[in-house]
Copies of this chain bind each other. A is one copy, B any other.
Amino acid sequence: MEFIEELRTLKEQVKFDKGIDNAESFGNVVIAGMGGSGISGKIFQELYSKKPVLAIDDYHSPEFISDNTLFIGISYSGNTEETISAINEAKAKGAHIVTISSGGALEKMGFEHISIPSGLQPRSATGYMLMPLLRSFSLADDQAVERTYALLDDLDKDNSKCMVHAKRIATGKKIPVIFGSSPYRSVAMKWKTQFNENAKVISYANYFPELNHNDSMALAHTYRKKNLYFLVFESDSERIRQRVEITGEITDTNFRIIKPKGKSTVEKLFHLIHYGDYVSYHLAGIRGINPTDVSIIEELKKRLK
């Protein structure tokens, strides 16, 4: 499948409606996943706080895990060594385990399993991995899904603004810097990883208001500022919008504001994700880079065996 076709499946992915029964009956939730398979847990962690939720991206699981823990292990391939290790540790602690994958070892571990369609790059399958989390915890309903579908479809038809950003980034060989804010901090991180994996450029993400306590000083005085390209998500919060505006002014930094479309959080979330998909995809195209190539990641896995 061409990479652009992969990206265009996102609107179908948001219709994926499998979920976990009684997900809200546990005392806490731990979600393990790496890279493109881990970002959905991180996004979920920002959206749901009725219970302690911990998104992990390493070999080990926290000590507090018990039979009162819902542990969700996500790996698109089903074969990620860190995730498998974390699941095994959670199993030893008696957690209720649910796995999400398109096949691989995870499917065969014998836990409650959500099977998702295969054939995509993990980073193109965020909808398949995020929607079960949103559905299980009542964070997305059919109406939001329908409106999200329409917004993503619009972006598939016209993403010329994404091309404008990509061209500016490519022309100056600029390092994309993405500043988000809650509940879209992990979406800024998702943009960064899309720049890394699709366009193969180094990229940096942070979020307001935290960055006002550190990056702000660098923005005002750093060398190489002209080598950076600042993309900033418009916040729902008036206070954060003030921070963005004042920060841009007093540090003399040109923030390109990305305005998410949609009424609900789910719509804005996916609109922002898809917007970043296209900026990174176009940047790959301009650079003459194959966005599908992840040979270095594969080579590492082979040499680690």
Footprint of B on A, CB under 8 Å?
28, 34-36, 38, 49-52, 54, 57-60, 62-64, 82, 173, 175, 177, 182, 192-193, 195-197, 200-204, 209-210, 212-225, 227-228, 237, 239, 242-243, 246-247, 250-251, 289, 293-294, 296-297, 299-300, 303-304
Contact = CB atoms under 8 A, between A and B. Distances in A.
A228 B223 CA distance: 12
Given A38-B210, A200-B222, A246-B304, A297 B58 contact: no
Given A49-B62, A173-B223, A196-B214, 16 more contacts: A49-B64, A50-B64, A57-B209, A59-B239, A60-B182, A82-B209, A177-B202, A196-B217, A196-B218, A200-B217, A201-B223, A212-B300, A217-B293, A217-B294, A219-B296, A227-B227
B34 A210 contact: yes
Contacts of A214: 35-36, 192-193, 196-197
16 contacts: A49-B62, A51-B64, A60-B182, A173-B223, A195-B218, A196-B218, A197-B218, A200-B217, A202-B218, A202-B222, A202-B224, A204-B204, A212-B300, A243-B300, A247-B300, A250-B296
Given A59-B239, A64-B51, A243-B304, A213 B35 contact: yes
B213 A201 contact: no
Contacts of A51: 64
A59 B208 CA distance: 10
A251 B209 contact: no
B201 A300 contact: no
B182 A202 contact: no
A31 to B, nearest CB: 13
Nearest to A61: B49
B223 A304 contact: no
B52 A28 contact: yes
A34 B200 contact: no
A11 B291 CA distance: 49
Contacts of A202: 177, 204, 215, 218-219, 222, 224-225, 228
The 8 closest A-B pairs by CB, nearest first: A35-B213, A49-B62, A52-B52, A200-B221, A193-B214, A196-B218, A196-B214, A173-B223
A216 B175 contact: no
A42 to B, nearest CB: 10
Given A222-B201, A223-B201, A49 B34 contact: no
A210 B57 contact: yes
B175 A224 contact: yes
A70 B222 CA distance: 39
Contact of A216 (B52, B63, B250, B300): B300
Given A251-B296, A297-B217, A49 B35 contact: no
